[in-house]
């Protein structure tokens, strides 16, 4: 099979640090090639993913995935589609790319919704025609309001993630310096539990800096440290040495790569039971799910009882790149056999009582 992948143009594939969508596209591209298929990737011009590529705008290590100028993004998408006339399937990971394609008689097109189906993005997906739409979690799918082609969870190259010992004596936080991700809540929970917290987060945009200065920086102290944004090696070292990843999300995260990254190192997750968290974290086995500062603080003190080997095994069994690639290939094959498959949105799994 010959598969065309279109990544957002704002960051290179793979990203040098923070960049969830770009990381997923990189793993998917490499995995498809390992499985014996041809791939053509449309991505930022400075991408290093080792597959044939068509260049887009120059990605910037310090930029946001959404910081690309609208004209540059449109140029990137059109260039990508123009180069993919020979492919069997175009898998578009941008938001509006399928609306910009200039031929309905070309390859089959599928898009993955990496963000929420909210009042801003939902109408975009509703406007798409002859395009199969994939969700990345069952909770996200249940909020779509449109028929979807399926749900495929993200994957991780587990063998490339070092197993941590969890003996650093601290909890960790990974993410973006945004109220949605809960860095302020993480600092408050750690202080309430009386445990050290080491935080690593993307802090590039003016809104992120403003939030950090006003809401998070005042909580920093000798036991609550902010380390800045880390590369993959340092990130896995930080999380692997922690006894827990503290992930007090304040919104319905469509997936949450940081959770499977932590579990892959053997580190259990303490999280709020919103969005995709109940699909990723097995409450009482690979983490603890609860709401409110005091229950989360209590969970931090109880998390050491969980088996770190079980955390990594859960990722091996359910969130590997091989599983993700296999599900995509089965879907592409189904797509090529007939019209874009459309299935009712699935219901969200029941959230464990906390």
Cα-Cα-Cα-Cα dihedral sign, residues 68, 71, 75, 81: positive
Lowest mean per-residue pLDDT among 67-71, 94-98, 218-222: 67-71
Per-residue pLDDT tens digits for 282-301? 999 999 999 999 999 999 99
User: How far is Cα 35 from Cα 120, in angstroms, rounded to an integer?
Assistant: 37
- Identify whether 186 is part of a domain: yes
Q: What is the CATH number of the domain that holds 263?
A: 3.40.50.2000
Per-residue pLDDT tens digits for 84-140? 989 999 999 999 899 887 666 789 999 999 999 999 999 999 999 889 999 999 999
41 φψ region: left (φ > 0), alpha (ψ -120 to 50), beta (else): beta
Q: Which domain range does residue 96 map to?
A: 2-155+320-337
| In a shared domain, residues 181 and 212 | yes
- Identify whether 215 is part of a domain: yes
Computed on alpha carbons and rounded to an integer, the radius of gyration of the chain in Å comes to 20
| In a shared domain, residues 311 and 164 | yes
Q: What is the pLDDT of residue 14?
A: 94
Mean pLDDT for the chain overall: 91
* pTM value > 0.85: yes
Cα-Cα-Cα-Cα dihedral sign, residues 178, 184, 187, 193: negative
What is the mean predicted confidence (pLDDT) over 147-162? Answer: 96
What is the mean predicted confidence (pLDDT) over 263-288? Answer: 98
What is the mean predicted confidence (pLDDT) over 149-168? Answer: 97
| In a shared domain, residues 140 and 254 | no
| In a shared domain, residues 110 and 217 | no
| In a shared domain, residues 40 and 120 | yes
User: How far is Cα 228 from Cα 23, in angstroms, rounded to an integer?
Assistant: 19
| In a shared domain, residues 275 and 329 | no
Per-residue pLDDT tens digits for 246-257? 999 999 999 999
CA–chain centroid gap for 81, Å, is: 24
- Identify whether 38 is part of a domain: yes
- Identify whether 344 is part of a domain: no
Total domain count for the chain? 2
pLDDT-based confidence at 1, cuts 50/70/90? very high
- Identify whether 230 is part of a domain: yes
Per-residue pLDDT tens digits for 14-32? 998 788 899 999 999 999 9
Per-residue pLDDT tens digits for 164-186? 999 999 999 999 999 999 999 99
| In a shared domain, residues 145 and 20 | yes
- Identify whether 347 is part of a domain: no
| In a shared domain, residues 291 and 265 | yes
- Calculate what percentage of the chain has a pLDDT beyond 90: 79
| In a shared domain, residues 134 and 48 | yes
Residue 58 has pLDDT above 60, yes or no: no
| In a shared domain, residues 241 and 288 | yes
- Identify whether 271 is part of a domain: yes
| In a shared domain, residues 148 and 178 | no
- Identify whether 20 is part of a domain: yes
| In a shared domain, residues 197 and 142 | no
């Amino acid at each position: 099979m010959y598969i065309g992948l279109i990544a957002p143009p704002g960051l290179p594939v793979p990203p040098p640090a923070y960049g969830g969508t770009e990381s997923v596209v990189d793993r998917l591209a490499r995995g498809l090639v390992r499985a014996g298929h041809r791939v053509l990737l449309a991505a930022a011009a400075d991408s290093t993913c080792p597959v044939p590529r068509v260049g887009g705008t120059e990605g910037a290590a310090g930029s946001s995935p959404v910081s690309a100028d609208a004209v540059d993004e449109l140029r990137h998408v059109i260039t990508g589609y123009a180069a993919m006339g020979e492919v069997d399937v175009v898998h578009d990971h941008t938001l509006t790319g399928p609306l910009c394609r200039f031929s309905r008689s070309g390859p089959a097109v599928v898009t993955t919704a990496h963000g929420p189906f909210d009042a801003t993005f939902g109408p975009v997906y509703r406007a798409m025609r002859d395009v199969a739409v994939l969700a990345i979690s069952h909770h996200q799918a249940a909020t779509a309001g449109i028929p979807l082609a399926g749900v495929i969870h993200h994957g991780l190259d587990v063998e490339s993630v070092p197993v941590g010992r969890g003996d650093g004596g601290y909890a960790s936080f990974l993410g973006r310096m945004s109220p949605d991700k809960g860095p302020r809540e993480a600092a408050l929970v750690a202080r309430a539990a009386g445990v050290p917290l080491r935080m690593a987060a993307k802090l590039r945009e003016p809104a992120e800096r403003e939030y950090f200065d006003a809401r998070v920086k005042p909580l920093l102290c000798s036991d609550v440290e902010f380390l800045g944004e880390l590369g993959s090696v340092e990130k896995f070292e930080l999380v692997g040495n922690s006894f827990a990843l503290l992930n007090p999300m304040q919104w319905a995260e469509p997936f949450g790569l940081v959770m499977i990254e932590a579990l892959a190192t053997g580190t259990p997750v303490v999280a709020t039971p919103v969005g995709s968290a109940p699909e990723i974290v097995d409450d009482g086995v690979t983490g603890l799910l609860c709401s409110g500062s005091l229950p989360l603080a209590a969970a931090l003190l109880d998390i050491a009882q969980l088996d770190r080997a079980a955390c990594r095994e859960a990722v091996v069994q359910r969130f590997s790149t091989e599983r993700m690639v296999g599900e995509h290939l089965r879907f592409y094959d189904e797509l090529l056999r007939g019209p874009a498959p459309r299935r009712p949105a699935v219901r969200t799994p029941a959230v464990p009582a906390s």
